[in-house]
Structure 1
Amino acid sequence: MRLPGTRYQEHGWEQVRKLLGLCSLQAFRQIEMHHVLDPEQHAALLDAYTDAVAASLRANARTARGEAEGNSYGESVYELSLGLLYELQAQTAYWTAFTAAMASEYARSGAFWQDAAAEGVLRKKVNDMYATLRDKVDADNYIVATGRECSPNKIYTYRMLDTAYREIAGLFAAWEQNAAQVGAILGRPLAGTPIEVRQMKSIGGCKAEWIIRWSESLERFGGSPGPLHTKSKRFASLKNSPDKIAALLVEIGDYEELSANMDSADDWQGEAGEAALWLEDYWRVMGESEQVEASGQSQDEDRILAAPALDDDVADADADADAAGILAGEAAEGGAWPGAGASMDAAPLSETDLAAEQSRAEDLSLPLRYLELARAAQDAGSWTVRMMRDESLPIRLAVYHKLLGAADDTYPDAWLDPSTGELPTLQQLASLDQISMPTLRKRRNEAIARLQAAGAQ
């Protein structure tokens, strides 16, 4: 998504986030992290952190990740990362929020930053800090570029609508496989190819009513409420304001048409990673929204949120972070993901079953032996694999997809879709397991709950 003045809302954000996370972990090993417990030391700690991360970023400037394209304006991932790091010194409220979150975690877990198994928790807190700072920086630059009011929440709303459009475009492109949901979005039963599939060429051609019905359809077809239909009041007014949605869609479309050649965007706009990033931001903002509402404060989608929760993170997000920390910790201890070793699926499959597996993989454009090789990349000695021994491989991969994202540097190559370099999408995993998406999500969430419960003991 591109808007006037914004730099961090495009496809490169995923790599910016990863690079800042990596360099932050390296910095934490060099600075006096116990100073997060002393407010009088926070300014000095920020200076030390900035120096350490800047040095680490410079060391990574010529790596493949550092040199990767960060946005459509020619800025590299390294340049965007360094710019956001220095914004942190100019907008110290986000550092204050981070140190408060670290102190809160210390109250629960002690000096967790010294524990290799806690890298997942550290990464999440760094990600939260930079994700909220990113939207503030882009909102400020949007105001400068256009002279119109904007807030971090409004940037988030633009991004939600952009992601919704891309989800709808994907459904339209595969309307025969998604006829019921496409019919629900269009508001009529389908009788042949819907003309809207050919007519919608860009986000400017997406109708507000489709966005509203798409969100409404998600609980029925995806297993969880859409962004306009949760219990949160964040988008309550937007749900009932199709004219406002239409105006925002037109603004995104007009600027994308005027600002740049879209050819480079075509290569990435449909990738599953875009939806994964949206989901991560979505749950973060929903958590913030619920906390604000619980405190009795008023809220609308244009209101600038306070910094992320300081004293108590959203319960689900914390629990997921704890489970993610366990997973990342195992990878750190073993030097690789809990994955290079003997398969835990003891009984070999028959030739008929293997042929059926290969046929499903071929239908999804995955390597024929994807499931066979992915099973072999599991380690029966891994704690997390033992905890999920009763789950199928697609469910286990869905757990990693939820907790650590579709792309993590520690995943074995055998787990990845060669065409994207990431885990298969949830839809692909559901098809591999021969179950529906709601069933996949239900079993995935049950497995995560078991990991959370075991990690708390």
Structure 2
Amino acid sequence: MRLPGTRYQEPGWEQVRKLLGQCSLDAFARCDLAGLLAPAGGGDGLALYVDLLAASLHAAGRGARGRAAGNSYGDSVAELALLLAYELAARPADWEAFRTAIAGEHARAPAFWRHPGGEALLRKKVNDMFAVLRDKVDADNYQAACGRPCSPNRLYAYRMLDTAYGDIARLFAGWQMHRAQVGAILGRPLDAAQPIEVRQLGAIGACRPEWILRWSETLERFGGTPGPLHTRSKRFDSLKDNREKIGAMLAEIGEYEALSANRDRDWLQDADTSAAWIEDYWRVLDESGAGSTPGPDQILEALEDEDGGQAVAPEAAEAAAEAADAAGAADGADEPLAALRAHAVSLPPGFVLAAGAAQEPGSWSARMLAGASLAVRLAVYAKLLGPDDDSYPDAWRDPATNALPTMVQLAALDGVSLPTLRKRRDAAIASLQAHATQNGRSE
């Protein structure tokens, strides 16, 4: 669940809680716990605990749990745990409540933390302290962000509603297996057809208050325990039979969920280089031009033939260029008709530099083809492995097709005719095969 200003209400909290418990036990092991919890210690005990806990959290921050995402804002588990430890230093009342709880256990079983199971009890007390503290911190931050009053108990109610929505969504998704309970939540018996509400429930904002009330009512019948709105607890008294308030809270969660759907990530044009943005721009135009009426945004412009000035398709232009190249090659000419092809086929700016840098310098094929141009090397790979082999780096691929450039595109890169490129490609392949055969014989 995401709410304005909050940082600890998402699923990553479980890892934050576990890291705080783990590092607290480490901190307690490096000091005299009985002295640390003594009333006379007061603020000194809290300061020592926070210092030891912070040192342990810094060390754990290099581990897998510490580096894991703690929320969708980009905070790691270790960062959130460390911030909460420093919040504790500013809230001695929470430390005093923890110290009192430990002192009570200590009075019943002296030094209980040294007995079997004692560490688990100590860890539970730590978890309880930080669970209360995280709701206080998030409630304060929510008030600062929204300008509306919010208590830790109200945050707890938000969390309950979010959990209720998740369970209702699960039941709706498997409505055939939970037909009786889903019918009770909807307030009518179900027939063989899928209820329309199942398709309508796409987000928490679409969840209806009466479904929450009926869901809580059905839990004792279908799950064995009373629902949160049907217990004797006074925690949710303000929500019991209060559809308007439930609806407003659900709508608030859903509204902020929609507003923050981008999860605070940068847009592509802000995160990438200008060259990458231009490549994406050309790809989008190319894709839109392929399925729309020709217009000023079409990349593959119409070409004129030599005689009548009549527009011809790119495929026809390619065939004409190939025929002209074949005729020129017979006379020893190597005129590529590059101007014609430059209009018919184009690669993104910066393709040559990026594709050249993507070749593994130490690979066998790179060493064998070191004297060949980039276009010849890519033509060899396309011939031997196909145009879209999974091993190709992204920099080699034409963004418009996600495959290697065509032979016409590669010929345009080298400024040679298509037959010439084919001859060079075939010569390079023959050289590779001869070298491989020679090495096989020598072995």
TM-score > 0.5 by shorter chain? yes
Show CA shifts across 1:220-244 (max 9, x none): 0000000000011222331111000
CA shift, 1:62, in A, is: 1.2
State the distance in 2 between where 1:256 and 1:79 align.
Answer: 23
CA contact 1:113–1:122 (8 Å) conserved in 2: yes
Other-structure match for 2:286: none
Q: 2:208 is aligned with what amino acid?
A: K
Q: Which moved more, 1:100-109 or 1:233-242?
A: 233-242
Other-structure match for 1:246: 247
State the distance in 1 between where 2:120 and 2:43 align.
Answer: 25
CA contact 1:180–1:189 (8 Å) conserved in 2: yes
* Structure 1 counterpart SS, 2:71: coil
Other-structure match for 1:153: 153
CA shift, 1:73, in A, is: 0.5
Q: 1:233 is aligned with what amino acid?
A: K
CA shift, 1:30, in A, is: 1.0
Other-structure match for 1:45: 45
Q: 1:253 is aligned with what amino acid?
A: G
State the distance in 2 between where 1:4 and 1:34 align.
Answer: 40
**TM-score normalised by the chain length of structure 1:** 0.57
Other-structure match for 1:142: 142
Other-structure match for 1:172: 172
Other-structure match for 2:259: 258
Other-structure match for 2:10: 10
Q: 1:37 to 1:16 in 2, by over 3 A?
A: closer
CA shift, 1:37, in A, is: 5.2
CA shift, 1:42, in A, is: 2.5
State the distance in 2 between where 1:53 and 1:147 align.
Answer: 33
CA contact 1:4–1:145 (8 Å) conserved in 2: yes
Show CA shifts across 1:139-162 (max 9, x none): 000000000000000000000000
Show CA shifts across 1:103-139 (max 9, x none): 0101111111223521110111000000000000000
CA shift, 1:45, in A, is: 1.1
State the distance in 1 between where 2:260 and 2:62 align.
Answer: 28
State the distance in 1 between where 2:263 and 2:211 align.
Answer: 23
Q: Which moved more, 1:103-112 or 1:221-230?
A: 103-112
Q: 1:237 to 1:61 in 2, by over 3 A?
A: closer
Once the two structures are aligned, what percentage of the paired residues are identical? 64
CA shift, 1:31, in A, is: 1.6
CA contact 1:185–1:214 (8 Å) conserved in 2: yes
Other-structure match for 1:105: 105
Q: 1:262 to 1:208 in 2, by over 3 A?
A: farther
State the distance in 2 between where 1:65 and 1:233 align.
Answer: 36
Other-structure match for 1:228: 229
Show CA shifts across 1:347-368 (max 9, x none): xxxxxxxxxxxxxxxxxxxxxx
Q: Which moved more, 1:26-35 or 1:217-226?
A: 26-35
CA shift, 1:33, in A, is: 1.0
CA contact 1:31–1:45 (8 Å) conserved in 2: no
* Structure 1 counterpart SS, 2:117: helix
Other-structure match for 2:419: none
CA contact 2:153–2:235 (8 Å) conserved in 1: no
Q: Which moved more, 1:35-44 or 1:52-61?
A: 35-44
CA contact 2:73–2:263 (8 Å) conserved in 1: no
* Structure 2 counterpart SS, 1:38: coil
State the distance in 1 between where 2:37 and 2:3 align.
Answer: 39
* Structure 1 counterpart SS, 2:40: helix
Other-structure match for 2:63: 63
State the distance in 2 between where 1:133 and 1:263 align.
Answer: 26
Q: Superposition RMSD on alpha carbons, in Å?
A: 1.5
CA shift, 1:185, in A, is: 0.5
Show CA shifts across 1:376-432 (max 9, x none): xxxxxxxxxxxxxxxxxxxxxxxxxxxxxxxxxxxxxxxxxxxxxxxxxxxxxxxxx
Q: 1:210 is aligned with what amino acid?
A: W
CA contact 2:136–2:152 (8 Å) conserved in 1: yes
CA contact 2:66–2:78 (8 Å) conserved in 1: yes
Counting only pairs closer than 5 Å after superposition, residues 48-447 of structure 1 correspond to structure 2 as 48-191=48-191, 192-261=193-262
CA contact 2:36–2:45 (8 Å) conserved in 1: yes
State the distance in 2 between where 1:8 and 1:34 align.
Answer: 31
CA contact 1:50–1:85 (8 Å) conserved in 2: yes
Q: 1:166 is aligned with what amino acid?
A: G
Q: Which runs of 5+ in 2 are unaligned?
A: 266-443
Show CA shifts across 1:193-214 (max 9, x none): 1100000110000000000000
Relative contact order (C-alpha < 8 Å, sep 6+): which is higher?
1
Q: 1:262 to 1:239 in 2, by over 3 A?
A: farther
CA shift, 1:39, in A, is: 1.3
CA contact 1:36–1:103 (8 Å) conserved in 2: no
Alignment coverage as a number of residue pairs = 264
State the distance in 2 between where 1:64 and 1:37 align.
Answer: 31
Kindly name which structure, 1 or 2, has the bigger radius of gyration based on alpha carbons: 2
CA contact 1:36–1:100 (8 Å) conserved in 2: no
Q: 1:4 is aligned with what amino acid?
A: P
* Structure 1 counterpart SS, 2:239: helix
Other-structure match for 2:335: none
State the distance in 1 between where 2:136 and 2:111 align.
Answer: 30
